[in-house]
């Protein structure tokens, strides 16, 4: 397990324990209007969490699409309000152990459904662990008696848990645990209030007495404010399956605390069940966390792709932009580096040379992501003078071949793919390398790539501020204004590069500079530095002190970086580094290597670009374009520079 995954297990364990202990508090509110109590609990929880969010910013909320808002509303209705209503309704005609046993089967259902929905085969180890956890939870609680209604309500409660596990992740990726909990509490407060008015009428809420107020305060602080945030934080780090396994600790926690409140006893059965739960968690948690870090396949094998004739897709800049949103881009890069980390991808050496005619860099990549995706090739050039012409520095064309026949299936605008996948790769690196609480971003550069980096990194960290510097004041000011308006963030154009970097948690160098624009002496402890412009041995965006101060030097591919990444080449020549010091990002993604060991570590990530990144990106775009959003070969207007 990586450090982040171990933290996720700890967060999930604490969350499950807090929820289990809350059963005692719930028993103290037996005579309080149930739905009114839920509404008050979530409303006050929202107010407390909103104070915390106001310090970190609400910008990610603006990125929620209408579809994600609907998803969040439904998840809240099923997983928070609906779950509580179902458990209460079940206990009216069933003994409390019945819903407990049924809900205790949630890990088994989630362990099977989550991989299937992601086109994976369920892990036997995780499934066995889930079965042991479910059995242990049943032994802890006993079984109890019920009628048909009690069983149906118990199944509904389990359904709420399953819905939460299956459908919350896309919203979690955008908002993060804290903002997600805050928004969910606001929605749940309204939903519970509406139900309370409909069911209980004017008596849906009242002033609690002293005991009820104490119990309500515990539920708000321990369960809502802390427990749910930790719950979502665990899902973020170890996946829904991993957290489902840890939920088996809820009945164990409840059983341990019941004797203290005089509501139950802890005997041999509870001890045996607790040991079973612990054994099931130990059996499956590591595999579940590893599966959560593994790539979601970006495409499936399609039989119709081998049938003749089929038109070649021509995907223009605008088409690629519409199909390759930042979320899709980041997940494609997660797939790319995970495939590198587990040895699935094929990555031959790339062709890269500097033209003696004009100094432009000509490159050609080829790679294959997996057996089910065909080879992808990218051909293009880097022309530094394009900035003055108002054009991207990189222009390229990507072709993709059928995995069985080798027939061309698509031609894509490689310029857009390169921009978006490069920024998405950096965002992935930030996600796995930067401190979890990193919120201050510095960007050196103000061009297309620099702006794309701000958009992408904002997807993986709740940025509170962004500082931008580039040599031309007009360019950096224009970039700051554009990004501030688009993302709703505090974006500032600084007078010097040092001013931008000072105090930053994350530094992204997005230039083609041959001389250092980021100095090691400027970096604060715990900083993560990303360099994407040092693509030749002679180009160094960072000075040697950056790598000397770095606890870990992470690269997209050690062999490629050793020959092409300027700062790495310089450090290897000077003896500041040896080849074995280079850590592959793919190894970090799959948990084979660790980079950050503590909050004060400085971590460097150098990227020169890999063909497998283009392969993952191209197939992600093609996979979505197969819905009819590409341009057939008969209409090639989409390939013009204007996108028409």
Strands 506-509 and 440-444: parallel
Strand, coil or helix: 460: coil
> Exposed/middle/buried for 132, CB within 10 Å: 0-12, 13-18, 19+?
buried
Distinct helix (H) and strand (E) counts, the chain: 25, 14
pLDDT band with cut points at 50, 70 and 90 for residue 4: low
CA distance 614 to 634: 25
> Exposed/middle/buried for 452, CB within 10 Å: 0-12, 13-18, 19+?
buried
For residue range 269-315, what is the model confidence (pLDDT) as tens digits? 778 877 887 887 787 766 665 555 544 444 444 444 444 445 789 99
- pLDDT value of position 1: 55
Q: Can you read off the two tokens belonging to residue 414? A: 């490689």
pTM of the model: 0.54
Which residues, listed in sequence order, are joined to residue 86 by a DSSP beta bridge?
none
Which of 423, 450, 434 is closest to 330 using CA atoms?
423
For residue range 437-451, what is the model confidence (pLDDT) as tens digits? 999 999 999 999 999
Q: pLDDT at residue 526 above 60?
A: yes
For residue range 588-620, what is the model confidence (pLDDT) as tens digits? 998 889 999 999 999 999 999 999 999 999 999
pLDDT band with cut points at 50, 70 and 90 for residue 260: low
Q: Which residues of 479-489 are buried (b: 16+ CB within 10 A; e: fewer)?
A: bbeebbeebbb
- pLDDT value of position 502: 96
- pLDDT value of position 77: 92
Across all residues in the chain, what is the average pLDDT? Answer: 84
Kindly tell me the sign of the dihedral angle through the C-alpha atoms of 427, 428, 429, 431. Answer: positive
Q: pLDDT at residue 331 above 70?
A: yes
What are the structural domains of the chain? 3-293 (no CATH), 312-418+613-639 (3.30.1780.10), 435-609 (3.40.50.720)
Q: Per mean pLDDT, which range of 85-99, 491-505, 547-561, 585-599 is the poorest? A: 85-99
- pLDDT value of position 262: 60
Which of 546, 442, 444 is closest to 490 using CA atoms?
442
CA distance 336 to 339: 5
* Max avg pLDDT among 49-58, 415-424, 481-490, 496-505: 496-505
Helix (H) or strand (E) holding 528, with range, is strand 528-531
Which residues, listed in sequence order, are joined to residue 354 by a DSSP beta bridge?
361
Contact partners, residue 544, CB within 8 Å, separation at least 6: 520, 567, 570, 571, 574, 576
Q: Which residue has the higher pLDDT, 250 or 43?
A: 43
Q: Can you read off the two tokens belonging to residue 320? A: 């690629």
């Amino acid at each position: 397990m990586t450090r982040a995954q171990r933290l996720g297990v700890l967060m999930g364990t604490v969350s499950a324990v807090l929820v289990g202990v809350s059963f005692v508090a719930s028993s103290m509110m037996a005579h309080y209007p149930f739905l009114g109590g839920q509404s008050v609990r979530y409303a006050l929880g929202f107010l407390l969490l909103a104070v915390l969010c106001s310090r970190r910013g609400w910008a990610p909320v603006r990125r929620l699409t209408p579809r994600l808002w609907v998803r969040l509303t439904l998840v809240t209705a099923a997983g928070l309000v609906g779950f509580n209503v179902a458990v209460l309704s079940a206990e009216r005609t069933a003994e409390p152990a019945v819903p407990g046993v049924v809900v205790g089967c949630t890990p088994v259902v989630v362990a099977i459904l989550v991989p299937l929905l992601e086109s994976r085969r369920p892990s036997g180890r995780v499934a066995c662990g889930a079965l042991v956890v479910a059995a242990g939870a049943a032994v802890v609680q006993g079984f109890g008696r019920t009628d048909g209604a009690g069983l149906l309500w118990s199944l509904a409660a389990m359904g709420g848990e399953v819905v939460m596990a299956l459908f919350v992740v896309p919203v979690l990726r955008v908002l993060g645990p804290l903002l997600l909990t805050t928004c969910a509490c606001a929605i749940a407060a309204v939903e519970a209030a509406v139900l309370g008015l409909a069911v209980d009428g004017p008596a849906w809420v009242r002033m609690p007495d002293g005991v009820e107020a104490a119990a309500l305060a515990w539920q708000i602080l321990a369960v809502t404010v802390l427990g749910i945030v930790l719950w979502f934080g665990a899902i973020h780090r170890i996946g829904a399956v991993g957290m489902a396994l840890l939920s088996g600790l809820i009945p164990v926690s409840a059983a341990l605390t019941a004797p203290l409140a005089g509501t139950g006893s802890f005997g041999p059965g509870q001890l045996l069940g607790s040991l079973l739960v612990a054994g099931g968690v130990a059996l499956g948690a590591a595999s579940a966390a590893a599966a959560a870090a593994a790539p979601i396949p970006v495409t499936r094998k399609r039989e119709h792709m081998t049938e003749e004739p089929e038109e070649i897709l021509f995907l223009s800049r605008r088409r690629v932009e519409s199909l390759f949103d930042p979320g899709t881009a980041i997940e494609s890069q997660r797939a790319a580096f995970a495939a590198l980390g587990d040895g699935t991808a094929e990555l031959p050496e790339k062709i890269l040379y500097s033209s003696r005619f004009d100094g432009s860099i000509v490159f050609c990549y080829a790679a294959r992501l997996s057996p089910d995706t065909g080879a992808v090739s990218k051909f293009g050039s880097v022309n530094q003078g394009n900035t003055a012409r108002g054009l991207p520095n990189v222009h390229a064309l990507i072709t993709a071949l059928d995995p069985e026949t080798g027939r061309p299936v698509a031609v894509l605008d490689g310029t857009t793919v390169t921009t978006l996948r490069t920024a998405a790769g950096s965002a992935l690196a930030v996600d796995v390398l930067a401190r979890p609480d990193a919120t201050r971003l510095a960007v050196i550069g103000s061009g297309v790539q620099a702006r794309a980096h701000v958009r992408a990194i904002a997807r993986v960290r709740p940025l509170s501020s962004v500082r931008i510097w580039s040599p031309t004041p007009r360019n950096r000011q224009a970039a700051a204004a554009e990004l501030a308006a688009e993302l709703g963030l505090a974006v500032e154009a600084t007078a010097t590069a040092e001013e931008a970097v000072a105090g930053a948690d994350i530094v992204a160098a997005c230039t083609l500079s041959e001389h250092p624009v980021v100095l090691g002496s400027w970096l604060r402890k715990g900083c993560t530095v990303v360099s994407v412009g040092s693509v030749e041995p002679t180009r160094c965006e960072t000075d040697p002190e950056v790598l000397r101060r770095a606890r870990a030097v992470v690269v997209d591919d050690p062999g490629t970086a050793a020959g092409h990444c300027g700062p790495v080449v310089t450090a290897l020549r000077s003896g500041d580094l040896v080849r074995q010091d280079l850590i592959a990002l793919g190894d970090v993604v799959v948990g084979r290597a660790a980079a950050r060991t503590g909050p004060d570590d400085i971590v460097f990530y150098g990227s020169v670009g890999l063909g497998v990144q283009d392969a993952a990106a191209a197939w992600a775009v093609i996979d979505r374009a197969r819905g009819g959003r590409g341009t057939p070969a008969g209409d090639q207007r989409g390939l013009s520079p204007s996108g028409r």
